[in-house]
Structure 1
Amino acid sequence: MRVVIAPDSLKGTATAADTAAAIRAGWLDERPDDDVVGAPTADGGEGTIDAFAAAVPDAVRVPVTVTGPAGTPVDTAWLRLPDGRAVVELAATSGLPLLGGRLQPGTATSRGFGEAIAAALDAGATGLVLGIGGSASTDGGRPVLEALGLTAHADGSVDRSHLRPLPPGGAVVLTDVTSPLLGPDGAVAVFGPQKGVTPELAPALEERLAAWALALPDVDPATPGAGAAGGVGFGLLAWGATLAPGARAVADVLGLPALLDGADVVVTGEGRYDDQSAAGKVPSVVRALAAERAPGARVLLVAGEVDAPLDGFDAAASLMVLATQTTGEPDDALREPLRFARIAGQRLARLTG
């Protein structure tokens, strides 16, 4: 059989490339004669640079030190593509895992993302591909624009005179989030809790974002995706960037649709499969692509945790369930994700065979 393995990263525990390799190894343990292709992908969040680097052989990582989400330096990199564009990943500069579990819901900053963008522009980037998933902050992207030259005054006004222009090729923002900036479906209400925002703190953060939106009246805060990355989507829209569905855009760049042609089995996955997964995250996008390009293929899911109906999937393997069955400790899936990803590959191959 031809098997294509196209997972996202297991957020904070394993990269998409390592996850795909582990699942592939497990599959080949059971079915060594199958043609098994690893095709790690991303949705604009953690692992986006890795996915592009794996797909574009001549891409070059360019080291940069930026202000991390806690305000301390972070050594990271952006990716120079052969066509002159730069890929910059917010998760690698201002991401939640960089806080090491010490959440800072009111003070975490996205400034380092803007600093990395500025570094890419200084190096001559002709266009930008910006992945904005996995943010630690809820600051509306104001620090990003400040790092790019915007001055925000205490009275709420802004001075754009020194704001850097977009590069000639523009800026495409990869995001799987369609939330507006404000309100019950906005950045604070939907994504604040995972960043440590309590009900007591939420009104102040919402007020701060609303004031920021008034300072940039040329962008409608209700624009789908404005609430992505704690409002960084809004800030980038104000800069003139264009939002694009992250997982589908990355899949197209990586050539995933063509890889799926002729597949008998497609395996995808992510860290947690829940109700948000259907809204444009990697598993839903890969499932839809499989239906288009390999309509007879069985589509399988590997996830750290499964917390939603498996509509459209033929089978699934939860790493936490496998860890419980193997060691009696579900948290072993977090400590040894690749061990259990390999076991998941073995189990799914056995079921499929």
Structure 2
Amino acid sequence: MSFFGPDEDINSVLNKPSVKVSMFLSWMERNKDPNDTVARTLTYVQFPIFYVSNIENRCWEPRQKAKAIGRIHSVPPSFGEAYFLRILLNKVKGPKSFEDIRTVNGHVHDTFRDACYALDLLDDDTEYIEAIKEANETATCSYISVLFAMMLLSNTLSRPEVVWESTWKYMTDDFMYRLRKFHRSEALSVPEDHLKNYALGEIEKFLLRNNSSLRRFLTMPYPDEASLADSQNRLIYEERCYTQLDRGNEYERQMSMLNDEQRYVFEEILKAVEGDAGGVFFVYGYGGTGKTFLWKTLSATIRSKGQIVLNVASSGIASLLLTGAGLHTPGFIFL
């Protein structure tokens, strides 16, 4: 514990030994002593049996008396990394740094939790995954979302992100049904990231009602509210459903078939799109000269980059020739 007055200089406060060196840090400093072979054979829990903390000098010294009473403060699982660090302090012997505490079999893990998992100090959460799979046989998707949220609230999951990746599909069947009904399309394809986003949104709603949030669980993804809003706009949502890889393959195939005039028009329009310059372009030509092919190549190019293209046409026949086109003034809208 460190004490300082309201008028003390900040530099003098920060340079106090009590601030710069704690009992915990001085334990790791003691482990660096090459002449002390005993210290490196002990865990932090065992250390007070053989050493005593010198508060004045902020260091550990060999204990003269045989008996010692001490404890490590309890840490609840909700504290995250501090909880996993406490677990490791019961197992790791003689670390000289925080990196040493996270090292297992020569590999330095990114977090204390990963180190615990590598040492088999945590359960693998298989029982929770199986419980959700079993519930899927008879329960609704909303019930499964609540079940997963309750597991998060209970702080019993060692790796919530692993349980999430194994079970999120069971939370989205009702979303598929309602979305297809809303858009009146049984063949509507829903991207995987949109399905995950929906399930995360339902989980977040439940957690907020219980004074919690997915933001408390650092390894869990967080829902994108903008994507949820887009799902209610049929035109934008259908554009988001295009696969960039498929559009990219279509773009490469069609680009090789453009003639010189088509390529010139293509490059001029694409230059305006990529430069965010905007513009109105009128392309004239007799039937069969490849105007529609040019529009389709432009659409595939823009969609392959994950952007939105709204095709519109003035007649029913023209709208059938363009992917995702609707009846309106002929042209393109790039978003």
Q: Same fold (TM over 0.5)?
A: no
Q: TM-score, normalised by structure 1?
A: 0.23
Q: TM-score, normalised by structure 2?
A: 0.24
Q: Which has the higher contact order (CA 8 A, sep 6+)?
A: 1
Could you say which structure has the higher strand fraction? 1
Larger radius of gyration: 2
Could you say which structure has the higher helix fraction? 2
